[in-house]
Structure 1
C-alpha cells in the first residue's frame, strides 16, 4: 500500500504540472514570444527559474551525498558564485539588452562575425546535450528504485523517455513562459521536500545527532586545508574558480542568458541574476544539511558499508524511511527539479539553433508564424536527442553533480573567453576569436585528460580560468600580428524582431 500511494502521488504530479504549464503559458503569437516571452516576465519569477534551472536534480540527489562524505563545501562554492554573478550583471548583461538579442551568441556574431557565433552555438549545443544527459539520469535514479519495490526492473532509457515526454508536452506549446512559471512551481516543491526531510531527520537523530555532526566537522563551510589545484572545495578554488565558473555558466551559456533576456529591463535582469546567487546558497545549505543529518542518522557509517553510492543515499532514505505519501512527494520534487532543468534546456537549444545557426548561416527569412512552428518542431527534435545522450551516463560511478559541472567546465572557458576577448581586446577580429576559441577547446580538453597534480586530476572549477587565459593569450597575440580592421557590421537577425 505504501508504494501504491507514493506512485499515485507521482502520477498526479506529472499530470498536474503538464496541465498547469499549458494554462500558465498563454497563447504564443511569435517566435520572439516563444523565446523571450516578449520580455515581459517579472524579475523574481526569472530569478527562481534561474535557480531551478541550474540546481535541478544534481542538487537534490548529489549534494546530500557530497555532504554525507564531507561537509558544507557546496555553500563555499556559492560565495564564488555570488562574486561571478555580480560581474555578469554589470559587465555582460548590458551587451545583451543593448542589442535586443534572443541569444547570447548574437553578440559574438555582431562583434566577430557569424563564424565565431556559429562555433559558440555549436559548442553550447553539444555541451548542453551532455550536461542535461547527466541531469536526466540523476532524475531517473529514484524512479528506478521505486519501481524496483514493485519488482519491476525498468531500464533507465524508458524512465528518461517518460520524463522527457511529459516535459515536452508543455514546453513545446508554451515556450519560455511555460518554462519560467513551471520552474517556479517545481522549485517550491523540491524545496518543500528538503524542509520536510530536515524536520523528519531532526526528530530521528535528536540533539545528540546534531552535536555529533558538528563535532565531525559536517557543518564546516570554508576549507583552507584541501589542495588548491585538485580539490573543487578548497577555499581559493571555490571562490576564484567558482566565480569564473558562474561567469561562464550565467554569462555565456544560453541556458541561463535566455532566462534573463525575458526580463522587462536591464535593471530587472540584474536583480534576477544577483538574487539567484543568494538563493542558490540557501539551497546548497538546505541539501547539505540533509546530508549531514543522514550521516548522523546512520551513525557516521561509510557509504560503502551500507552498499550505497553518494548519489543513492538520499534516494534510499526517501523511498524507505519517509511516511506514506511523503516519499511520493519527495520523488515528485526530484522529478520537478529534473523537468525544470530539462524544459529550460530544450527551449534554449531551440533558440540557439534558430537564432545562431539558421538565422545567421542559413539567411532564412520566414514570417513569424512559420518561425514559431519551426521553433516548436526543433524543441521536439532536441528532446529526442536528449534522451539518447542521457543513456550515455548509466555506467558512471562519479557523483553526478560533479560530473555535470565538469562537463560544462570544459567549454565554459572558451565561451566566456570569447566574450571577454571582444570586450578587452579592441583589435581582435573574427580570425583571432575563432582560432583562440578552437585553441581553448583543445587546451582544456587536453588538460581534462592529461593534467594531474600529485596523481590527482585538476579540479573542475579551474578549467574555466584556464580556458579564459588561453583565449585571451592566443586571441591577443593573433590580434597583434594582424592588420587593424573595422568592426564587423551587425547582420540582421530575423528571430530577434517582433
Structure 2
C-alpha cells in the first residue's frame, strides 16, 4: 500500500481525534485529566472500554487462534463476563465509598504507605512493559505492511519504524495532553466505532465473496472442527474450568485492579451508573469477541479456498492486504489503529495519573493547581518518551520469543495486586507493612518456578491461564505470614 495514501488516512483520522480533544478539554484541570471531573457518561464509557480492552494485538491474534483451537478462546471470554460482575459488585462499591482518584490509595488506607507504593509500582511496571510490548508488535505490523509489503519479513530497525512510532506517540500525546480521561472517554468511543466497523465490514466482505449465509458458515465450521468451544481434558492447559476461572480472575485483576481500566469507570458520578456501564460493557464484550472468532473461522476458510497458506497472527493482515479488495486493506489499517490507540492512550494517561498521585503525592502536597499541572505534564511527556524508547529497544531485540516473555512478565505482576486486594477485602488482619514488597517480589518468582518445573518435568498437569490465580494465592499466603498478631 502506498505510504503517502496511508499517511493521508492517518492525518484525517488524527484530525478527527484532535477535534474531539479540543471540544472536551476546554477549561481542563488536573481533576479533568485524572477522573474527568466525575461527570462521564456511563454509556460512552461502556462503549469506549471495548476499544481499551481489545488491543491491536487482539485485533489480529484472536481470529488467528481459530485455526488450531477453534472457538476455545470463548471459554476465557465467558470467564471475563463473570469477572465483570465481581468488579461491579465488589470493587466499584469500594472505590466509590472511599472516593478514590487512584485505586491504589485503598492499599494505603487498609495496610499502610509501603503497601500502597508497592501496589502502584507493580501497576506502573506491568502496564509500562505490557503496553509498550503490544504497541511495538502493532507498529511492527504497520511498518512491514506499509513500507515492506510483507508481514512475514524479519527486518532490522529502520527509519520507517521509528517514524511510525514517533508519529503515533505524538498523536496520542497531542490529544490526551490536556483533557486526559475526559478526552479519552470520547476518543475511545469514536475509535471503538471504527474498530467494530472494520470487523463487520471484513465479515460481510468474506461472506459475500464466498456466497455464504450465517447458518451455512456455521455448518462448515462444524465440519472443520472450528466450532469446538469447550475442552474437557482436565490436564489440558485449555481445560474449560481453568479457562473460565482464569478469564474471571484476569478480569478482576487486569480490569478491576488496573488504574487504566478503572480510571474511566470512577469518572462516572454515581456508583449505580458505573455498575450499569460495567454490565453493558460485559455483554457487548462477549458478543464482540464471538464475532472476532467467527471472522477468524471465515478467514481460514477463505484462505483455504484461494490457496493461501497463512495462519496465526499473519492470517488477517496477509489476506486483508494481499488477497482482498484494496478497500479492505484500508479498513484493516483503520481497524488496527482504532484498536491500538485506545489501549495506548489509556495506558499513558493511567501511568501519568498513578505516578503523579501515588508516587509523587500530587494530591497530598500543598502546591498550587498550576504547579501540580506543570508536574503532571512533565510526567505525561516522560512516559511518552519512555514508551518510544522501549518500543525502539524491542525492535532492536526483534525476537518474538523475547517479546512474549516480556508480556508474560507483565502478566505475572498482577498476581501480587490480586493477593493484596483480596487479603484486604477478605480479612480484617493488618500486616507488617514494610515486608509487603518482599512478599510481592517472591510470589511471582515462586509461581514462575512452579510453572517451569511442571513444564520441564512433563507432568500430566500443566499450568495455563490459571497462573494468575496461583500467583495471587501465594501472595495471599505470604501476607498471612506477615500479619500482625
TM-score scaled by structure 1? 0.87
In the alignment, the residues of structure 2 paired with residue 28 and residue 357 of structure 1 have an alpha-carbon distance, to the nearest angstrom, of 26
Residues 212-361 of structure 1 correspond to what in structure 2 (within 5 A)?
Answer: 212-225=220-233, 227-228=235-236, 231=237, 233-299=238-304, 306=309, 308=310, 310-359=312-361
Deviation at 1:174, TM superposition (A): 1.8
Deviation at 1:414, TM superposition (A): 0.6
Deviation at 1:465, TM superposition (A): 0.7
After superposition, the Cα gap between the structure-2 partners of 1:109 and 1:185, relative to the gap in structure 1 and judged at 3 Å, is same
Deviation at 1:234, TM superposition (A): 2.5
The reply to whether residue 465 of structure 1 matches residue 465 of structure 2 is: no
After superposition, the Cα gap between the structure-2 partners of 1:161 and 1:8, relative to the gap in structure 1 and judged at 3 Å, is closer
Is the 1:25–1:175 contact (alpha carbons within 8 Å) kept by the matching residues of 2? no
Is the 2:125–2:410 contact (alpha carbons within 8 Å) kept by the matching residues of 1? no
Provide the residue aligned with 2:110 in structure 1: 111
In the alignment, the residues of structure 1 paired with residue 434 and residue 306 of structure 2 have an alpha-carbon distance, to the nearest angstrom, of 56
C-alpha deviations, 1:295-326, integer Å up to 9, x for none?
11122899xx83x5522211111212332344
Deviation at 1:269, TM superposition (A): 1.6
Deviation at 1:161, TM superposition (A): 2.3
Residues 93-242 of structure 1 correspond to what in structure 2 (within 5 A)?
Answer: 93-144=92-143, 145-149=145-149, 155-207=160-212, 211-225=219-233, 227-228=235-236, 231=237, 233-242=238-247
User: Helix, strand or coil: the match of 2:430?
Assistant: coil
Deviation at 1:426, TM superposition (A): 1.0
The reply to whether residue 72 of structure 1 matches residue 76 of structure 2 is: no
Provide the residue aligned with 2:374 in structure 1: 373
Unaligned runs of 5+ in 1: 484-498
Deviation at 1:459, TM superposition (A): 4.5
Cα RMSD of the aligned pairs, angstroms, is: 2.9
Residues 356-435 of structure 1 correspond to what in structure 2 (within 5 A)?
Answer: 356-359=358-361, 364-394=365-395, 395-397=398-400, 406-429=408-431, 430-431=433-434, 433-435=436-438
Provide the residue aligned with 1:34 in structure 2: 33
Deviates more, 1:455-464 or 1:164-173: 455-464
Provide the residue aligned with 1:493 in structure 2: none
Deviates more, 1:69-78 or 1:107-116: 69-78
Deviation at 1:28, TM superposition (A): 4.3
Provide the residue aligned with 1:489 in structure 2: none
C-alpha deviations, 1:187-210, integer Å up to 9, x for none?
110110011111111122334765
Deviates more, 1:53-62 or 1:138-147: 138-147
Is the 1:29–1:369 contact (alpha carbons within 8 Å) kept by the matching residues of 2? no
In the alignment, the residues of structure 1 paired with residue 402 and residue 330 of structure 2 have an alpha-carbon distance, to the nearest angstrom, of 23
Deviation at 1:180, TM superposition (A): 1.2
In the alignment, the residues of structure 2 paired with residue 18 and residue 258 of structure 1 have an alpha-carbon distance, to the nearest angstrom, of 20
Provide the residue aligned with 2:90 in structure 1: 91
After superposition, the Cα gap between the structure-2 partners of 1:428 and 1:221, relative to the gap in structure 1 and judged at 3 Å, is same
User: Helix, strand or coil: the match of 2:468?
Assistant: helix
C-alpha deviations, 1:262-299, integer Å up to 9, x for none?
11111122122232222221221121112111111122
Deviation at 1:335, TM superposition (A): 0.8
User: Helix, strand or coil: the match of 2:225?
Assistant: coil
User: Helix, strand or coil: the match of 1:286?
Assistant: helix
Is the 1:409–1:463 contact (alpha carbons within 8 Å) kept by the matching residues of 2? no
Deviation at 1:341, TM superposition (A): 0.7
Provide the residue aligned with 1:492 in structure 2: none
Is the 1:65–1:314 contact (alpha carbons within 8 Å) kept by the matching residues of 2? yes
TM-score scaled by structure 2? 0.89
Deviation at 1:41, TM superposition (A): 0.3
C-alpha deviations, 1:117-172, integer Å up to 9, x for none?
11111111111111111221232144221222499965534322221111111011
After superposition, the Cα gap between the structure-2 partners of 1:4 and 1:133, relative to the gap in structure 1 and judged at 3 Å, is closer
After superposition, the Cα gap between the structure-2 partners of 1:275 and 1:459, relative to the gap in structure 1 and judged at 3 Å, is farther
In the alignment, the residues of structure 2 paired with residue 199 and residue 281 of structure 1 have an alpha-carbon distance, to the nearest angstrom, of 20
Unaligned runs of 5+ in 2: none
Provide the residue aligned with 2:443 in structure 1: 440
Is the 1:201–1:293 contact (alpha carbons within 8 Å) kept by the matching residues of 2? yes
User: Helix, strand or coil: the match of 2:19?
Assistant: helix
Deviation at 1:450, TM superposition (A): 4.5
In the alignment, the residues of structure 1 paired with residue 475 and residue 399 of structure 2 have an alpha-carbon distance, to the nearest angstrom, of 31
In the alignment, the residues of structure 2 paired with residue 136 and residue 449 of structure 1 have an alpha-carbon distance, to the nearest angstrom, of 27
Deviation at 1:393, TM superposition (A): 4.1
Alignment length (residue pairs): 472
